[in-house]
Amino acid sequence: MINFLEQTVNGLVNGGFYALLALGLAVIFGMLRVVNFAHGAFYMLGAFGAYVGLREFGLPFWVALVLVPVVLAALGMTLERTAINRLARLDPLYNFLFTFGLTLILQDLVKWRYGVNANPYEIPAGLTGTVHIGQFGFPAYRLFVFGFAVAACLLAWWLLARTRVGMVVRAATERPELTGALGIDVGRWITPVFGFGIALAALAGVLAAPIQAVNPLMGADLIIVVFAVVVIGGLGSVTGSVATGFGIGVAGAWAQAYAPPIVAQTLVFVVMAVVLLIRPAGLFGREEGVA
């Protein structure tokens, strides 16, 4: 029973990463109608940012946690202004392709400089211990990651539900033309929202650095799982992305612990197939024009 609990909590930790990434992807899509293939690359850059920050500049983890997402968000926003914006009036396919090309470039640039090997990054001091609740023991850092991910998602929810920016974003997501017709300047929020989405990806990357391999390809296969997560959750739905992210994390952990390996690897795709059959818009999505 304890073991089951440990596996579940572990699944929630993994789910946290999926949720953060799916959230960023959903927010960017909602606002810009761009499916950001490079999301995985920014996650990777976040982890590398932490690693390089420590190695070259001696930046401790807590500083990196704040600084790296800010820096990468700035980079993302520059990209949005110069390139993505230019493609916005075209078929969204082009932006998808552009971000794909960007992924190839970013991955190879990092590979060129740092090689493909995993780079070590230590768990920050203070979180290296284990938390014990009765018989249940779990590494402190992983619990921290889970907590942080939940907090970040709650913050995002609060931003969307309770602030003016959030209202604009939600309106622009559901009824872009109407929002514009009502005189609301959606445009000025596009770049910051993109930056916010990128910051979430980078944040996930920094959080991942101590527990996952910091290597140039760490985002590559992950992004495909995240795509499946958002298809399941409903691409325009923020709630859906987060809930599905955590759900898939837990389901995946259970599958890996109690089922043959093939189940764990293909689970998310099978679920996606089922969802497509029953509810093509996604579990939490609404039937939109994107259908």
Contacts to other proteins from residues 85-124, by CB under 8 A: 86-87, 90-94, 96-98, 100-105, 107-109, 111-112, 115-118, 120, 123
Q: Kindly state the tokens that stand for 66.
A: 């704040």
Rounded-to-integer distance, Cα 263 and Cα 265, Å = 6
Rounded-to-integer distance, Cα 103 and Cα 127, Å = 32
Pick the closer one to other proteins by CB: 3 or 78: 3
The binder of other proteins chosen from 191, 215, 237, 241 (CB under 8 A): 215
Note whether 148 binds other proteins by CB under 8 A.
Answer: no
Report yes or no: 71 and 49 within 8 Å, Cβ to Cβ.
yes
The binder of other proteins chosen from 13, 77, 153, 206 (CB under 8 A): 13
Note whether 218 binds other proteins by CB under 8 A.
Answer: yes
Note whether 265 binds other proteins by CB under 8 A.
Answer: yes
**What's the min distance (Å) between Cβ of 36 and other proteins?**
11
The string of DSSP letters for 93-136 reads: HHHHHHHHHHHHHHHHHHHHHH-SS-B--PPPTTS-SEEEETTE
Report yes or no: 252 and 268 within 8 Å, Cβ to Cβ.
yes
Region 173-192 residues binding other proteins, contact defined as CB under 8 A: none
Nearest to 34 by CA among 217, 155, 166, 173: 173
The binder of other proteins chosen from 154, 174, 280, 286 (CB under 8 A): 280
Note whether 266 binds other proteins by CB under 8 A.
Answer: yes
Pick the closer one to other proteins by CB: 101 or 147: 101
